Amino acid sequence: MKFVTDLISAQDAKTEKLTEADTALDGKDSGGDQPLAWAPIEPAPKKKRLALWIGLGAGVVAIGAGAASMILIAPGTTVAGIPVGWLTPGAAADAISAHVAETEVVLTGVGDDIVLSGSELGASVDATALADEAFATHPMWNLGSWMGEPVAGDITFDTATADSALRDAVPTSFDDPVDAGVVFDAATGAFVITPSVTGTGVDLDALSTAFTETIADGGKRLEFPGGPAEATAAVSDDDATAFATELNTMMGTIGFYIGEERTVPIDAATASTWFTVVDDDGTLRIDADQTAIQATVDALPAAVDIAPINANTIVDSAGKVLRTESEGVNGRAIGDTSNLASDVVEKLEAGEAVFPISVTETPFQSVNVLRTIDVNLSSQTATLLENGAVVRSWKISSGKAATPTDTGNFKVYAHVRMQTMKSREPDGSITETPNVPWVTYFNGDEAFHGTYWHSNFGNRMSHGCVNMPIDVAKFVYEWAPVGLEVSVHN
C-alpha cells in the first residue's frame, strides 16, 4: 500500500478516484478483496494560440498600412513631372529639389559638349509648397486620387547665376548687346535716343523652357545649343523713343505752379541738369539730382515774391474820393521750401512735371492823396501839390489887367480835349482862337489850357484863362480830376 500512498502524496500529482462503475482489476468485481488504487490522470493538452498570433500580426499590418495612408502621397502622383507617389510631403520636397538640381544640360555646338547641372544654373522650384499641394490633392487614403492629374510646378533660373555659369562655360558665345538710351541734345533743346546694338549670347529664356519641359516629360538630361545666338538689346530703339517722347512732353509743362498757373517755367536745358536717364536692368527711368534741383529752389523767391501795390485815390480836403488813381494789388511771398527739392525728386522720378508751391498773400494798403493847384498871380506861377508837397511848378500867363483872372477858391468841373475859344475884347469885339488844346475848367469860362500863339509865360497875356505851355496843360488835364481844389490868389 506504500506505493499508493506515495502516489497520492506526490507533490502536484493530479489523480482521479475510481468509482464503483469502473472496471475491477483482473476482471473481478470491485466488491472483492482486490484493493482500489488512485491513478494519475493524463495531462490536458495545451490550447493552440498560433491562430491568435497570426490574427494579431495581420491586424498590426492592417493598422500600419492605414496609418501610412494618412501621411503618404498617393501612387502615380507627379509634381512638375517628378514622381512623388508613396512619399511623405517632406520626402517628396527633397525628391523634387534633388531632381531639379541634378538635371543636366548638355551645351552642344561648342566643340566638346559642356554639361551644366540645374544647381549650377540656379534652377529652383518651390518644392515644399508643391509637395504639400500634392499631398493635399492626392493623399494615399483617398483611392480616387491615385494616378490623378499631375501637379504643375514652375521651375525658374536665377538669372545672375545662370548667366554667370553660361559665360564661364561658353565665353565665346557672348558679345553683349548695347541698350538704346536717352540723352539731352543741347542743339535741338530736346531729348533724343542713342540707338541699340544687337549682340550674341545663349537664350536663357529658351533654355529655361526646355529645362522645364524635359523634367515635365520625366527626363533628367537635355541638349541645348551653346553656340552664339542673336541677343537683342533689353531696351530697343522703340522703347527709348517712347521714353524720349514722354520726357519732351514733360518739358512742355515742367515748372513750379501756384494753383493752375505755371508761375516759374523751367526750360528744358535747365531741367536736363536735374536728372539723368538710367538703364535699370533693361528699364529706362529718371534718376533725379536733388542738389541740382535745390539750386533752382533757392532762387525761387526772386521769381515768385511780389511786393503789394497800394491803391492810390485822389481826395479833396474833406476826404471825398475824386478818382482812383490805381487799384491795389496784393503781393505774395513763397512759403516753406525746405522739402521742395525732395518733393521734386519724387515727382520727377514718377514722371510728373508739375511742382506745386505755396505762397502767403501780402495785402495792399489804400493811400489817399490830397491834390491841389495853387495859382499865384503875383509870381505868375501854377504849382501842383500832393498832400502839401510840391509836385511841379511852372510859369503861366494869367489875365491882363483889362481881363483879369478871378481870385478865390474853386474846383475843377470839366475837361475838354480841344476847342475853339471866343474872347471878348475891352472894346466889345469878339476874338476867336481855334484848336485850343487840353482845357481844364475851374471857374466859369476860366480854365487852364495849352497855348500855341505865344511863349511869353511869366507875364499876363490872357483874357482870364491861365495860359500854359502845351505839355504842361496836358499834364494838368490828366492830373486834375473833377472836384480838385484850385486856389487863385495874388
The listed CATH number (2.40.440.10, 3.30.565.10, 3.50.30.30, 3.90.600.10) that belongs to domain 369-489: 2.40.440.10
DSSP H helical segments within 16-110, as ranges? 50-69, 89-102
Positive or negative torsion for Cα 445, 447, 453, 458: positive
Alpha-carbon gap, residue 159 to 314, rounded angstroms? 81
Question: Tell me, what amino acid is at 54?
Answer: I
Task: Grade residue 425 by pLDDT with cuts at 50, 70 and 90.
Answer: confident
Specify the DSSP class assigned to residue 31. Answer: T
Query: Three-state SS for 73?
Result: strand
pLDDT over 70 at 174, yes or no: yes
The b-or-e profile of 448-474 (16+ CB within 10 A means b, else e) is bbbbeeeeebeebbbbbbbbbbeebbb
Q: Using alpha carbons, list the distances in angstroms from residue 9 to 2, 15, 18, 43.
A: 10, 10, 17, 18
Read off the pLDDT of residues 72-118 as tens digits, 9 standing for 90 and up. 999 999 998 899 999 999 999 999 999 999 999 999 988 788 999 99
**Secondary structure, 3-state, 96-130:** HHHHHHHCEEEEECCCCCEEEECCCCCEECCHHHH
C-alpha to C-alpha distance for 304 and 40, rounded to whole angstroms: 133
pLDDT tens per residue, range 348-368: 999 999 999 999 999 999 999
Does position 55 have pLDDT exceeding 50, yes or no?
no
Percentage of the chain modeled with pLDDT above 90: 80
Whole-number CA gyration radius for the chain: 60
Q: Is the pLDDT of residue 48 over 50?
A: no
- Cα distances (angstroms) measured from residue 440 to each of 130, 308, 465, 474: 102, 33, 10, 9
The whole-angstrom separation of Cα 439 and Cα 107 is 106
User: Which amino acid is located at 128 in the chain?
Assistant: T
Domain boundaries of the chain, sorted by first residue: 2-40, 46-245, 252-362, 369-489
What is the rounded CA–CA span in Å between residue 30 and residue 20?
A: 7
Pairing of strands 366-376, 359-362: unpaired
Interval 300-349: pLDDT, tens: 999 999 999 999 999 999 999 999 999 999 999 999 999 999 999 999 99
CA 319 to chain centre: 59
Write down the pLDDT at residue 111. 74
Distance, CA of 486 to CA of 322 (rounded, Å):
14
Domain 252-362 has CATH 3.10.20: yes
